[in-house]
């Protein structure tokens, strides 16, 4: 692993942290809001506002924000996220610990919902291949939820410059930009429909990254305040399990299946058709 040392001064750039503090405090003050939609509700959490507000002061997105913070100082936020998520992970663990006996009771549901991830491909792959006429990018884009371990696997198998690599990076970028918010909205919405056991929705929250899990289970906890601790614990445990087993599900089940499924859908005869990007 390459360790590129970063000047501490850059990491401590006060502008970046000050922006984050101001935006977080504002967002927390606005607090949780909801809009009724038919029989369900759309929940809006402070973490949405902080994300959206910061998009406006990101110098890569809006021009005027260059005056507030330059691109170099903004880019240092990337390695900071990795650290910033840890307090949340630690807090999450303290919700899982006390609930461990309850989680053990849900054992088989917990383990097998990991395989529910494969549902991804059944819907997304046909649309990608048949409707959007995507080539092998479709494999990268739809074989998984495209988080870091999934990128690592694609990069290992095909290389990131390959069509598969472009596919996985595309969904990764979307996930980074909007995935967290989308999961929170989706979970909050499904919660209010009453179609699922709240604990099932909580376990499903664990499928993605730490921040996706956080936002998603936060929505659920807001929708079911009386079950708050239990739901957060289930989501956290599921995410822990995903971290532990996700890569193996991807290597041994998801990726081979998506190769096979892609060939079926596209009628591709040879498995190596490079440069199929356009």
Partner 1 sequence: MNANIENSIEAKVEEVHLSFRESLVVLAVVSIVCLASNWAGTGINPIKALPAMLIIYGMIFVGLLLTKYVRIGFPAVAWVSLISVLLTIPVSPVSAAILSELKNLNFLSIVTPVLAYAAMAITKMEVDLFKRSGFKIAVISILVFTGTYVGSALVANALL
Task: Report 81-100 residues binding partner 1 (CB under 8 A).
Answer: 81-98, 100
Reference 250, options 143, 141, 162, 122; nearest CA is 143
Strand-pair category, 40-44 with 33-37: antiparallel
Q: What is the 8-class DSSP label of residue 272?
A: -
Nearer to partner 1, 4 or 271 (CB): 4
Residues 24-63 touching partner 1, rule: CB under 8 A, are 24-29, 31, 45-48, 50-55, 57-58, 60-61
> Which residue(s) pair with 33 in the sheet?
44
Using alpha carbons, list the distances in angstroms from residue 28 to 48, 147, 173, 211: 10, 28, 26, 17
Q: How many residues bind partner 1 (CB under 8 A)?
A: 140
Report the nearest approach of partner 1 to the CB of residue 38 (Å): 18
Nearer to partner 1, 153 or 206 (CB): 206
Report the nearest approach of partner 1 to the CB of residue 21 (Å): 5
Binding region for partner 1 (CB under 8 A) out of 34-42, 68-76, 259-267: 68-76
Residues 229-268 touching partner 1, rule: CB under 8 A, are 232, 236, 238, 240, 243-244
- At residue 2, the 3 state secondary structure works out as coil
Report the nearest approach of partner 1 to the CB of residue 160 (Å): 5
Tell me the HSE value of 131 on the side-chain side, using a 13 A CA sphere: 6
Residues 6+ apart with CB under 8 A from 193: 39, 40
Reference 171, options 207, 144, 130, 141; nearest CA is 141
Binding region for partner 1 (CB under 8 A) out of 6-14, 34-42, 255-263, 266-274: 6-14
Residues 196-215 touching partner 1, rule: CB under 8 A, are 196-197, 199-201, 203-208, 210-211, 214-215
> Under the criterion CB under 8 A, does residue 273 sit at the interface with partner 1?
no
Pairwise CA distance, residues 77 & 70, whole Å? 12
Residues 102-161 touching partner 1, rule: CB under 8 A, are 106, 108-110, 112-124, 127-128, 132, 134, 138, 141-142, 145-146, 155, 160-161
């Amino acid at each position: 692993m390459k360790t590129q040392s970063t000047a501490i001064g850059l990491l401590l750039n006060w502008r970046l942290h000050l922006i984050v503090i101001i935006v977080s405090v504002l967002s927390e003050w606005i607090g949780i809001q909801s809009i009724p939609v038919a029989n369900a509700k759309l929940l809006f959490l402070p973490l949405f506002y902080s994300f959206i507000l910061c998009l406006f002061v990101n110098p890569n997105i809006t021009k005027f924000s260059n005056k507030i913070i330059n691109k170099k100082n903004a880019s240092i936020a990337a390695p900071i996220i990795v650290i910033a998520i840890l307090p949340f992970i630690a807090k999450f663990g303290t919700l899982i610990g006390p609930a461990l006996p309850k989680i053990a009771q849900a054992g088989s549901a917990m383990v097998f919902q990991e395989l529910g991830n494969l549902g991804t491909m059944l819907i997304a792959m046909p649309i990608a291949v048949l409707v959007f006429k995507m080539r092998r990018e479709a494999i990268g884009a739809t074989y998984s939820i495209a988080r870091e371990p999934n990128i690592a696997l694609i990069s290992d198998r095909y290389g990131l410059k390959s069509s598969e690599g472009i596919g996985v990076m595309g969904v990764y970028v979307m996930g980074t930009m909007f995935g967290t918010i989308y999961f929170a909205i989706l979970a909050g919405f499904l919660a209010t429909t009453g179609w699922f056991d709240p604990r099932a929705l909580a376990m499903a929250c664990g499928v993605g990254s730490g921040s996706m899990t956080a936002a998603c289970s936060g929505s659920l906890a807001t929708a079911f305040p009386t079950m708050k601790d239990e739901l957060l614990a289930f989501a956290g445990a599921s995410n822990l399990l995903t971290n532990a087993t996700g890569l193996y599900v991807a290597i041994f089940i998801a990726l081979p299946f998506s190769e096979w499924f892609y060939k079926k859908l596209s009628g591709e005869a040879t498995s190596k058709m490079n440069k199929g990007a356009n």
